[in-house]
Structure 1
Amino acid sequence: MAQKYRIYINQKVILITESVPKHPEKYEPLEQQSFDLKTLYPKVVNNNDRSYYYVLCDNAKAFLKQVIKSVTLIEAAGGLVKNGKGDYLFIFRNGKWDIPKGKLEKGEKPRAGAVREVEEECGISIGECGKKIVNTYHVYTLKGEVVLKKTHWYKMKYKGKEKLKPQIEEGITEVRWLNKREINMVTDNTFPSIMDVLLKRDLLEDIPAPLSE
């Protein structure tokens, strides 16, 4: 199977792929040889006519590694938590639904960081951290520098009965358990990278075309 990775810039996506997308008319092709994330970033941000781009390459994983090396990398981790009722844990932060996550501390392993962030942001104790779901990538500017954030996502289980407590100082105003039928509320107002996590866990009924590539 051809490999593919998505890098997000705001609500826009750059698809790194080993095969032409199923819906190429939605995408603007980018040249692999001249690809430079630092110069591409402002062009993508300021282009109001295009939201999807793709880079066709022989080895998507190797190309992604090259891209990561070309900019400052920030690593983060988070968890999609499921309770005994089959509900999933979501947070409402800065006007959007999200999944608890945060930057790794110096020397911290992604799995440990994911558990810490969930516990800090939601006020509960995680009993079990499972397998990796996916890594997501998004680009933004920090103090005028183009940086790439890699977020490690893990499956988690919760069996306790603690009261949810949002970490207000991190901009979180609500923490809620949602069942599969209620997840539409999240997908109507969330980030593209969160859609990637939900897609990997088969929690999306209607998959947007670019995500289905």
Structure 2
Amino acid sequence: MYEVFVNESPLILTNERPKKAKENLFELDGDSIMQAIGLLSKKKLKKAYLYHPDGDKILKLFMHKIPVIVAGGGLVVNPKGKVLFIKRNGKWDLPKGKVDKGETIESAAIREVEEETGVTGLTIDRFLKTTYHVFKRNGEYRLKQTHWFVMSTAYDGKLVAEKSEGIVKVRWKGPKKIKKALQNSYMNIKILFDDTSLFDQNS
């Protein structure tokens, strides 16, 4: 099962037919996918399911039906256990961006964190999670597949928001401020913090 967010509402890719999901259950074909995305985007459905019997192929088939942009991002932690956040479009987010041609996802994730925040000396500790969301550009729906990594750095210099990318603030946040920031964030960011072992040092 995979969760793809469309305007903050979940589009669930599943190989099991939900028992109570008649009006929001769609087959995995081009027309049905676009219908489901359109209804979620307009908030006419709170949740939708895309069904295909083969769970191993479902994501690959979905990604064949919609243009995909691959991105890398970082959940960056400093020695004090604080996490690096950016503010863009009125919401708190984590730094991320598109993978350039010929670039590894890991390199892209580090580059984007550096460009968007001014933070350097980054080390990737481990892969965290892959998230998915649909957005519209030039009248066409696209899927952003973001690969997230837990990173660490001892950087304690100036934070520099990349204003050309619409970033207005960059902040280190401890547990209480993280909790508050997540109230004004995105579902794909909130689910990254479900791994509470990340913050054992903060408790």
The question of a shared fold, defined as TM-score above 0.5 by the shorter chain, is answered with: yes
Structure 1 unmatched ranges of 5 or more: 205-213
Separation (CA, whole Å) in 2 of partners of 1:186 and 1:19: 35
Q: 1:139 maps to what in 2?
A: 134
- SS state at 1:175 partner: strand
Q: How does 1:48-59 map to 2 (within 5 A)?
A: 48=44, 50-59=45-54
Q: What is the CA RMSD across the aligned residues, in angstroms?
A: 2.4
TM (norm. structure 1) is 0.83
Q: How does 1:30-69 map to 2 (within 5 A)?
A: 30-34=25-29, 36-48=32-44, 50-69=45-64
Report how far residue 183 of structure 1 moved. 1.2
- SS state at 1:189 partner: coil
- SS state at 1:106 partner: coil
Report how far residue 56 of structure 1 moved. 4.8
- 163 and 28 in structure 1: CA distance in 2 versus 1, 3 angstrom threshold: farther
- 114 and 25 in structure 1: CA distance in 2 versus 1, 3 angstrom threshold: same
Q: 1:207 maps to what in 2?
A: none
Q: How does 1:84-95 map to 2 (within 5 A)?
A: 84-95=79-90
CA deviations 1:96-136 (Å, max 9, x no partner) are 00000111112211110000000011101133112211111
Count residues in correspondence.
Answer: 198
- 18 and 44 in structure 1: CA distance in 2 versus 1, 3 angstrom threshold: same
Separation (CA, whole Å) in 2 of partners of 1:20 and 1:188: 32
TM (norm. structure 2) is 0.86
Structure 2 unmatched ranges of 5 or more: none
Report how far residue 61 of structure 1 moved. 4.0
Q: Percent identity among equivalent residues?
A: 33
Report if the CA contact (8 A) 1:92-1:175 is conserved: yes
Report how far residue 15 of structure 1 moved. 1.6
Letter in 2 for 1:16: L
Report how far residue 68 of structure 1 moved. 0.4
Letter in 1 for 2:11: I
Separation (CA, whole Å) in 2 of partners of 1:61 and 1:124: 38
Report if the CA contact (8 A) 1:14-1:54 is conserved: yes
Report how far residue 57 of structure 1 moved. 4.6
- 25 and 159 in structure 1: CA distance in 2 versus 1, 3 angstrom threshold: farther
- 121 and 75 in structure 1: CA distance in 2 versus 1, 3 angstrom threshold: same
Report how far residue 176 of structure 1 moved. 0.8
- 33 and 136 in structure 1: CA distance in 2 versus 1, 3 angstrom threshold: closer
Q: 1:211 maps to what in 2?
A: none
Letter in 2 for 1:117: E
Separation (CA, whole Å) in 1 of partners of 2:121 and 2:51: 40
Q: 2:179 maps to what in 1?
A: 184
